[in-house]
Structure 1
Amino acid sequence: MTPFNFPSNNPLRLCIIHPYPTARCETFILQHIEGLPAYLRVLYGGHMPHYDTDGHIPLLGRLMHLVFNSLLSHNREYLPEPIGLGRLIARIRTTALARYFRKHRIQTVLAEFGPTGVAVLNACIMAGASLVVHFHGYDVSIDRVLKKYRGGYDRIFKHADAFIGVSREMCDKLIDFGAPVAKVHYNVYGVDIDQFQPAHAGKVPPIFAAVGRFVEKKAPELTLQAFSQTLSQVPDARLIMAGDGHLLETCKRLASKLGLEKVVTFPGTLNPKEVAAVLRDSRAFVQHSRRAINGDCEGTPNSILEACATGLAVVSTKHAGIPDVIIEGMTGFLVAEGDVAAMADKMVLLGRNPALAESMGRKARQHMVSHFSLEKSINSLWNIICQADASKTAQIKWGM
């Protein structure tokens, strides 16, 4: 990753906390860890974290760690508030986390996902650290998550210092939920442009690429149906659907039912270089994102940013943050959620018109370079974090 130049003789002391069970996590969190120019500590392994950067258990002894897991291990993400002994252990862990912050002189905590912000708020208050809560998608959309964390969100909206949404729709939701307007910041993920060499969409066959998890909010079965309709008018069209997820086998069966076995490929999960190669050899990118039955929605899909950075036109939906990054008719086409026929029409248009795909792809890449680069995203995030720290410092100084 290209280093970012933030000259400082006394770097801000930042702790990033994410809930993933290992140090390996989503690309956008790794970008924060690798790109922010702070003295950095990383905690992970739950919304109330278990491990530090080195894989140690800094917040409690190993025995307490095992006891806590035995009490609160079942479906941890959606557990009710702890009671009895669980509440006592939660208080002990909060105190230990605050002690960790003080030991490392942490000034600001970046909590990845809303529930993480809820879990660590009290420790931040105890340690006098500012708290920036970064929302990403499910944490402001899944119905049962919103129900469980309604009270917790009210508390962080009152006490935390900044809230980040990755789509304008998400920011509006946060404000509707009660977050102060002045503390809500829009900052979409960025893409490392250098990792994606520009495609020549007009010089390749009509190959459509779809990269992402096979989950309900990405509606891969609707993409398959749209492709099936496209094939009737673009007989040499092909579809590559990369990724994994609980709907993968369902989609394979649907492809077989639709007679698409010879024209649809399911290569499974690909590494970043393999993804870049698939995109580079495609005519356009397709993804039919929609609101899932349980309310789950996208933030702003990284796969769409990467496709645009490669120089591909995108055919997708008017969902979540997608309209924030796709310029209708210029860098791609967006249809209503569930409108398979409209999606197929746009795929046919690009399948039959390589020059149009080439032109839209060039504009898509330039749009990413100008507005959605990784450097721009990290710079913006860093400014939000620094502003939150300055605000907290001023409050402490003036006894607010």
Structure 2
Amino acid sequence: MRVAFVTGEFPLVSQTFIFNQLAGLIERGVEVTVFSLWGSPREDGVEQAVVQDYELVERTRYAPQVPRSLGARLSSGSRCIAKVFRQNPPAVVRLLNPLRFGRRALSLRLLHEAVPLLPRQDYDIVHCQFGDLALSALALRDAGLFKGRIVTHFRGYDISQFVKTAGPQVYADLFARGEFFLTNCDFFRHRVIELGCAPERIAVLRSGIDVGHFAFAPPPPPSDGVFRIAFVGRLVGKKGVEYAVRAIAKLRSAGREVELDIVGDGPLRASLEALIDELELRPWVHLHGAQDHDGVLGTLAAAHVLAAPSVTAADGDQDASVNTLKEAMAMGLPVVATRHGGIPELVEDGVSGFLVPERDSGALADAIARMCDSPDLWQTFGLTGRRRVEAEYDMHRLNDRLLDVYRQVASGNREAAAWTGRPVIVPSQARL
């Protein structure tokens, strides 16, 4: 089977779900090519071993980046037009049609995105890793730059922030002509159906982790009386890290011995540092920046509670079930999170962790305090969480399921591909 992945910037450390799918397909004998429509990341900073082990960059074809200035864009666009014209003259005319493609045609973006698809190739499946990328893929297929059935995977911003900006009809043509659709949680599946996707052409395929990589080891109570709270994620609006900082301030004001370790980087770092200074928390809130996976696991292993206070960002961006939550639960680490997006599908309130409302630092502080005061629950919560992750988020099972979806879609059997049954939670194989 020949499969093409359509991505934005690649490889991004925040998109390990793409690496895991690629590795799983390669292990299963699938011939995979990655098309990066937005080029390699300008800033990333952390290498993933899987990218090197499976030579993912070597499997990637990169589109020229679209310059910001008009002059440079016209110059770059002229070169792209010449490259595409030499191999597919009609494609140039189609991709420059503003009546069909609007700003994407006028900005010459589609012509830039066409370059890595030369010469034309035939694929069984073209897997677009976000909905907005599928809009480009559909246009490029229409222009005759590749042949293949398009599978679109909605993952977060593309079904929240992007829809808010582009309008609720943005995917109408894709829903009509794309072959199949996936989401990474039930919450987003219902959202996509509300936007017009036929229910029989969409299934949930969650983002998985290698559960066997995580030893089950619920933390013991702190020997020094200091409870360490961990936050892991990009410093962007939807991750809600500011509410974790404010919760720590409330806990310390109440006489609680707590500290917060923040792993991650992003555009909100400066404002977060200002908040830490404003609340006079420098001795107890530690910004570690971005870390590789071993560094993240070290932070989780040293923590007593993971906080995941995700919120709906001002631009509408939302989360599915957060990967770090899965990793923490696989390790048996107690978790406190928000009722947000796909998180309640992973964390069951009072059973495998505590859930609180979005943007409520007081409720978050109360839940953390309750968790710290209940070490007798840690083993029970940890075991329940581990079983949930094993049953529904094991990447090996999910990669088998992905390959099955491909085969069904390639054969035209959409009903079988759209199976939505949930696996039964089986007894844990965690190392106790």
Distance of 1:329 and 1:339 partners within structure 2: 18
Distance of 1:44 and 1:244 partners within structure 2: 23
Tell me which stretches of 4 or more aligned residues in structure 1 moved more than 6 Å. 63-66, 69-72
Distance of 1:24 and 1:338 partners within structure 2: 27
Contact kept, 8 Å, 1:300 with 1:320, in 2: the verdict is: yes
**Deviation of residue 393 (structure 1)?**
11
Q: What is the SS of the residue equivalent to 2:376?
A: helix
- What's the % identity of the aligned pairs? 23
Spell out the pairing of 1:318-397 with structure 2 (5 A cutoff): 318-391=339-412
Contact kept, 8 Å, 2:180 with 2:409, in 1: the verdict is: yes
Distance of 1:196 and 1:96 partners within structure 2: 38
The aligned counterpart of 1:168 is 186
Contact kept, 8 Å, 2:320 with 2:342, in 1: the verdict is: yes
2:136 matches 1:119: yes
The aligned counterpart of 1:109 is 126
The aligned counterpart of 2:120 is 100
Distance of 1:262 and 1:381 partners within structure 2: 46
Task: Give the direction of change, closer, same or farther, for the CA distance of 1:175–1:359 in structure 2 (3 Å limit).
Answer: same
Distance of 1:234 and 1:196 partners within structure 2: 34
Q: What is the SS of the residue equivalent to 1:359?
A: helix
Which residue identity lines up with residue 354 of structure 1 in the other structure? P
* 1:71-98 alpha-carbon deviations (Å, 9 max, x no partner): 99xxxxxx962345x56x8479659838
**Deviation of residue 274 (structure 1)?**
0.9
Contact kept, 8 Å, 2:63 with 2:115, in 1: the verdict is: no
Contact kept, 8 Å, 1:117 with 1:156, in 2: the verdict is: yes
Which residue identity lines up with residue 138 of structure 1 in the other structure? Y
**Deviation of residue 182 (structure 1)?**
0.6
Spell out the pairing of 1:75-90 with structure 2 (5 A cutoff): 81-83=103-105, 90=110
Distance of 1:115 and 1:364 partners within structure 2: 33
1:67 to 50, 54, 76: 76
2:17 matches 1:28: yes
Q: What is the SS of the residue equivalent to 2:120?
A: helix
**Deviation of residue 65 (structure 1)?**
10
Contact kept, 8 Å, 2:237 with 2:313, in 1: the verdict is: yes
Contact kept, 8 Å, 2:181 with 2:202, in 1: the verdict is: yes
The aligned counterpart of 2:5 is 16
Distance of 1:100 and 1:349 partners within structure 2: 59
Contact kept, 8 Å, 2:352 with 2:381, in 1: the verdict is: yes
Task: Give the direction of change, closer, same or farther, for the CA distance of 1:315–1:95 in structure 2 (3 Å limit).
Answer: closer
Q: What is the SS of the residue equivalent to 2:231?
A: strand
Distance of 1:329 and 1:236 partners within structure 2: 24
1:228 to 246, 249, 264: 249
Task: Give the direction of change, closer, same or farther, for the CA distance of 1:22–1:240 in structure 2 (3 Å limit).
Answer: closer
**Deviation of residue 379 (structure 1)?**
2.0
Contact kept, 8 Å, 2:339 with 2:355, in 1: the verdict is: yes
* 1:342-393 alpha-carbon deviations (Å, 9 max, x no partner): 1111100111222222331232122212221111222222222222111189
Q: Mind listing any 5+ residue stretches in structure 2 that lack a counterpart?
A: 40-55, 65-71, 82-100, 416-432
Task: Give the direction of change, closer, same or farther, for the CA distance of 1:386–1:235 in structure 2 (3 Å limit).
Answer: same
Task: Give the direction of change, closer, same or farther, for the CA distance of 1:363–1:296 in structure 2 (3 Å limit).
Answer: same
Distance of 1:392 and 1:213 partners within structure 2: 39
* 1:224-259 alpha-carbon deviations (Å, 9 max, x no partner): 111222234463222111111122222222222222
Task: Give the direction of change, closer, same or farther, for the CA distance of 1:136–1:93 in structure 2 (3 Å limit).
Answer: closer
* 1:95-146 alpha-carbon deviations (Å, 9 max, x no partner): 98385323xxx1110011011111011444544411100111000111x554
Q: What is the SS of the residue equivalent to 1:109?
A: strand
2:304 matches 1:287: no
Q: What is the SS of the residue equivalent to 1:259?
A: coil
Contact kept, 8 Å, 2:34 with 2:60, in 1: the verdict is: no
The aligned counterpart of 1:219 is 240
Contact kept, 8 Å, 1:41 with 1:52, in 2: the verdict is: no
Q: What is the SS of the residue equivalent to 1:202?
A: coil
Q: TM-score if structure 1 supplies the norm length? A: 0.82
Which residue identity lines up with residue 130 of structure 1 in the other structure? R
Task: Give the direction of change, closer, same or farther, for the CA distance of 1:391–1:292 in structure 2 (3 Å limit).
Answer: same
Q: TM-score if structure 2 supplies the norm length? A: 0.76
Contact kept, 8 Å, 1:243 with 1:269, in 2: the verdict is: yes
The aligned counterpart of 1:130 is 149
Distance of 2:173 and 2:273 partners within structure 1: 45
The aligned counterpart of 2:321 is 300
The aligned counterpart of 2:210 is 192
